[in-house]
Structure 1
Amino acid sequence: MLSFVFLLGFGVSLEIGTQQSENHPTLSWQQCTSSGSCTSQSGSIVLDSNWRWVHDSGTTNCYDGNEWSSDLCPDPETCSKNCYLDGADYSGTYGITSNGSSLKLGFVTEGSYSTNIGSRVYLKKDTNTYQIFKLKNHEFTFTVDVSNLPCGLNGALYFVEMEADGGKGKYPLAKPGAQYGMGYCDAQCPHDMKFINGNANVLDWKPQETDENSGNGRYGTCCTEMDIWEANSQATAYTPHICTKDGQYQCEGTECGDSDANQRYNGVCDKDGCDFNSYRLGNKTFFGPGLIVDSKKPVTVVTQFITSNGQDSGDLTEIRRIYVQGGKTIQNSFTNIAGLTSVDSITEAFCDESKDLFGDTNDFKAKGGFTAMGKSLDTGVVLVLSLWDDHSVNMLWLDSTYPTDAAAGALGTQRGPCATSSGAPSDVESQSPDASVTFSDIKFGPLDSTY
């Protein structure tokens, strides 16, 4: 039995701090109709709880650097009783600014009391609720500027099957809820979340050797994930990942699928996903600085979720990509590798064929494939926007040759033009502190209605 269960009877919960007011930056988006008319929707964004200051009833840190206070947090129950999750100074501490329909995420921000690296935010419907999207038989569109993102960084926009209220309704310990960015989960089942279901993840906590701000606890938090956009100025990919559990799930041990325990394919989630990366799939002149889709300029990205019968109730059969730049509509690149059928979108057949050709484990199929992804999209998903560097493998899986020990020219290993020596967080943070990504003009509606 997971440890958070027995805590419910103690009447304790993570409290809301008052040291910093919480004012969510506004971010408008548009809901479109089949006729092509779009109506502006009022929205806002909220910073993930993992980035926030956690302290006692005064100003003593419950979590400092990459370690929990042994006095305030010797165990989950005491930690929840002692600690407060506080508001955020979005621009001053985290380098997050919004203006109308535009959101800019800065990389390294020197605040009054600390240096912040990257961020993760969620689109909100109202103060206590994340905006939920149901994507089947619809398209999701946004404009993005990645011109200021070098190798090793990832300006990401994606969806995860989080609870709309941040878990507050299911888990009394999660009192701050969506108002303070709680409830995160993804297909990597991250262990670095300080609170899962409101419960402090202090058991077996180990500071990460390569990250002075992060560590890993006993539990992970898992859910199905649809990566619409993972990119820097050199490479981009879109990727569905699925899990065998419905919604957000707290994992422990083998079910987390930890790679460092050689259990990557034994967990509840498909961590590899089924990715469409033009460079990896044989077209090295499609996306990048000065190329067909020019990453030196803003680009509008359209992702369509096609169903078997053209209805919301149909089976998910295809995930299609379109770009718009400089007034021109640009269809996605086609695969260009011998032995792989020439296609320009993600389908079940593409996933099976590419996994087989590249010699990759087809965990996407094993975990349920398009059927499972369609089920998740029926439930509804939360929009996530983030900027991050990679303390595990330096983002080489996105923009370089990976695995680095693969045979020269091995199919599927060349994912982008960046050097295998690039992307080390210490290098990126010191050499490109002013890096940033800007997302704008989010639109959602029926197919072919948003561009």
Structure 2
Amino acid sequence: MLRRSVLLAFTLCAVVRGQQVGTVTAESHPALSVQECTSSGSCTTQQKSIVLDSNWRWLHDVDGYTNCYTGNTWDTSLCPDPTTCATNCALEGADYSGTYGITTSGDALTLKFVTQSQQKNIGSRVYLLDDDSTYKVFNLKNQEFTFDVDMSQLPCGINGALYFVEMDADGGLSRFSTNLAGAKYGTGYCDTQCPHDIKFINGEANVLDWTPSDTDSNAGTGRYGACCIEMDVWEANSMAAAYTPHTCSVSGQVRCEDAVECGDSPDHRYEGICDKDGCDFNSFRMGDKSFLGPGLTVDTSQTITVVTQFLTADNTTSGQLSEIRRLYVQNGQVIQNSKTNIAGLDPYDSITDQFCTDQKEVFGDTNSFSSLGGLQVMGESLDRGVVLVMSIWDDHTANMLWLDSNYPTDADPSQPGVARGNCSTSSGVPEDVESQSPNSQVVFSNIKYGPIGSTF
């Protein structure tokens, strides 16, 4: 998944990843309830909470109010090198609703796209906590994960995402001595894109070779990337949706050190330790252009219940992951996933290794998903445990066209795999969506997990 997050800086705040803890604003995690279900169909409510990713937090010197990072540049006096920066800088608690447009109510989480208070905040990313200092870790083999989503107010170019990544449960607190903040402050993010815009990786500032972005006044890239296996359960707006497993040759969160290991595009995209493309199932891209959207079979103008089942070969939690299946529930009706309708492809309606192999061949795509282990490796990650991420974001790299339009834009849209949604190829420009659709939001609610068939 391509991913970019932005917080527009003001006098005291900037987009950062810090590792120490400041004392200006107390951190108070918004409550969010989830339900664990059993094979008998009974579900028990669990009181959990969410935490804002440290990427959005104010990073300043530990003894004062001087920004360590402003706009898209570091203060070189405070951050001359990775370890000194970690020593000098602290991140603060968050005003979730006032500054970031993040609210919870019972089992519902609302993420607003643009929030204007003393400063302008764009997008957000949060994690589900098990307790105040530990992320909730899910083991999903032979289990299903279900949630409701209202994405009726998400236009082209915006992504309301729910997914899992193999982050450290404590945010890297125990592994890296310079990380004194941990999961309580949303540290330790990673995904299969091995993002270079992460400000702190392995407890050290990513200041080496830092290059400010040409298109984003609040972002840049450093030498290192933060890599780990990723399971995209839901990447969507009102016009398109996809679910996508991504594999890596490593387990847990790993810092990649150079362009080849990180798989930096375009020269080394398929040489890195992680599978950036993944094996996606997007109904529109798979040939059913009337399945999901406003007023369609899965009607995105209304709340949708999304069910994802992680099936194993022997129907046990210890078996090998063999299939990832999708169901929808809306207006009391269970809706089976769409089937592929592409010449040369069997009518698949779920993700299997064979589906991935056949899809890549027909689309002419590189099958890095299989070369890095396919569903077996994805299942091993689910065994080790993954952390739940929910976000809303726009895309400074590809305008979200890979999700909801024709992509690549210079390819013939009649060719298999190019058309992914009805959005225009001129849509999704961040400057446009931020000015024209600032009131966009996504609501995730009614999260449930348990054995196959227990959550809906």
Q: What amino acid does structure 2 have at the position aligned with 1:381?
A: V
Q: Which residues of 2 match residues 286-325 of structure 1 at below 5 A?
A: 286-325=291-330
1:115 pairs with one of 103, 120, 130: 120
Q: Which residues of 2 match residues 204-219 of structure 1 at below 5 A?
A: 204-219=209-224
Partner of 2:370: 365
- 2:183 matches 1:178: yes
- 2:11 matches 1:16: no
> Alpha carbons of 1:297 and 1:110: their partners in 2 closer, same or farther (altered >3 Å)?
same
Conserved 8 A contact 2:413-2:419: no
- 2:399 matches 1:374: no
Q: What amino acid does structure 2 have at the position aligned with 1:279?
A: F
Q: Deviations 1:220-263 (Å, cap 9, x if unpaired)?
A: 00000000000000000000001001100000111000114x11
- 2:440 matches 1:425: no
Q: Deviations 1:178-212 (Å, cap 9, x if unpaired)?
A: 00000100000000011112211111111111111
Cα deviation, residue 371, structure 1: 1.1
In structure 1, C-alpha distance between the alignment counterparts of 2:406 and 2:413, rounded to whole Å = 10
Partner of 1:354, secondary structure, is helix
1:280 pairs with one of 276, 285, 310: 285
Cα deviation, residue 83, structure 1: 0.6
In structure 1, C-alpha distance between the alignment counterparts of 2:250 and 2:450, rounded to whole Å = 28
Q: Deviations 1:353-396 (Å, cap 9, x if unpaired)?
A: 00000000000011111111111011010000000000000000
Q: What amino acid does structure 2 have at the position aligned with 1:104?
A: T
In structure 1, C-alpha distance between the alignment counterparts of 2:222 and 2:156, rounded to whole Å = 29
In structure 1, C-alpha distance between the alignment counterparts of 2:43 and 2:251, rounded to whole Å = 32
Cα deviation, residue 408, structure 1: 4.2
Q: What amino acid does structure 1 have at the position aligned with 2:106?
A: G
Conserved 8 A contact 2:400-2:428: yes
- Deviating above 3 A after TM superposition, structure 1's stretches of 4 or more consecutive aligned residues are none
Cα deviation, residue 78, structure 1: 2.1
> Alpha carbons of 1:408 and 1:160: their partners in 2 closer, same or farther (altered >3 Å)?
closer
In structure 2, C-alpha distance between the alignment counterparts of 1:123 and 1:213, rounded to whole Å = 26
1:193 pairs with one of 190, 198, 211: 198
Partner of 2:71: 65
In structure 1, C-alpha distance between the alignment counterparts of 2:380 and 2:53, rounded to whole Å = 26
Cα deviation, residue 29, structure 1: 0.1
In structure 1, C-alpha distance between the alignment counterparts of 2:413 and 2:312, rounded to whole Å = 39
Partner of 1:9: none
Conserved 8 A contact 2:292-2:298: yes
Partner of 2:243: 238
In structure 2, C-alpha distance between the alignment counterparts of 1:192 and 1:255, rounded to whole Å = 16
Partner of 2:177, secondary structure, is coil
In structure 2, C-alpha distance between the alignment counterparts of 1:157 and 1:109, rounded to whole Å = 20
Cα deviation, residue 398, structure 1: 0.1
Partner of 1:256: 262
In structure 2, C-alpha distance between the alignment counterparts of 1:14 and 1:143, rounded to whole Å = 34
Cα deviation, residue 328, structure 1: 0.6
In structure 1, C-alpha distance between the alignment counterparts of 2:333 and 2:227, rounded to whole Å = 39
Partner of 1:144: 149
- 2:114 matches 1:104: no
Q: What amino acid does structure 2 have at the position aligned with 1:282?
A: G
In structure 1, C-alpha distance between the alignment counterparts of 2:305 and 2:420, rounded to whole Å = 22
Partner of 2:49: 44
RMSD: 0.8
Partner of 1:3: none
> Alpha carbons of 1:406 and 1:194: their partners in 2 closer, same or farther (altered >3 Å)?
same
In structure 2, C-alpha distance between the alignment counterparts of 1:352 and 1:156, rounded to whole Å = 25
In structure 2, C-alpha distance between the alignment counterparts of 1:382 and 1:241, rounded to whole Å = 15
Partner of 2:7: none
In structure 2, C-alpha distance between the alignment counterparts of 1:370 and 1:105, rounded to whole Å = 31
Partner of 1:265: 270
1:387 pairs with one of 378, 392, 396: 392
Q: TM-score if structure 2 supplies the norm length?
A: 0.95
Partner of 2:9: none
Q: TM-score if structure 1 supplies the norm length?
A: 0.96
Partner of 2:408: 403
Q: What amino acid does structure 1 have at the position aligned with 2:214?
A: E
Q: What amino acid does structure 1 have at the position aligned with 2:403?
A: L
Partner of 1:7: none
2:343 pairs with one of 335, 338, 342: 338
> Alpha carbons of 1:408 and 1:26: their partners in 2 closer, same or farther (altered >3 Å)?
closer
Cα deviation, residue 214, structure 1: 0.9
Conserved 8 A contact 2:19-2:187: no
Partner of 2:225, secondary structure, is strand
- 2:171 matches 1:166: yes
2:451 pairs with one of 429, 446, 451: 446
Q: Which residues of 2 match residues 16-35 of structure 1 at below 5 A?
A: 16-35=21-40
Partner of 1:49, secondary structure, is coil
Q: What amino acid does structure 2 have at the position aligned with 1:392?
A: T
Partner of 1:409, secondary structure, is coil
Conserved 8 A contact 2:68-2:74: yes
In structure 1, C-alpha distance between the alignment counterparts of 2:170 and 2:241, rounded to whole Å = 31
Partner of 2:242, secondary structure, is strand
In structure 2, C-alpha distance between the alignment counterparts of 1:241 and 1:167, rounded to whole Å = 22
In structure 1, C-alpha distance between the alignment counterparts of 2:97 and 2:75, rounded to whole Å = 27
> Alpha carbons of 1:439 and 1:407: their partners in 2 closer, same or farther (altered >3 Å)?
same
Partner of 2:32, secondary structure, is coil
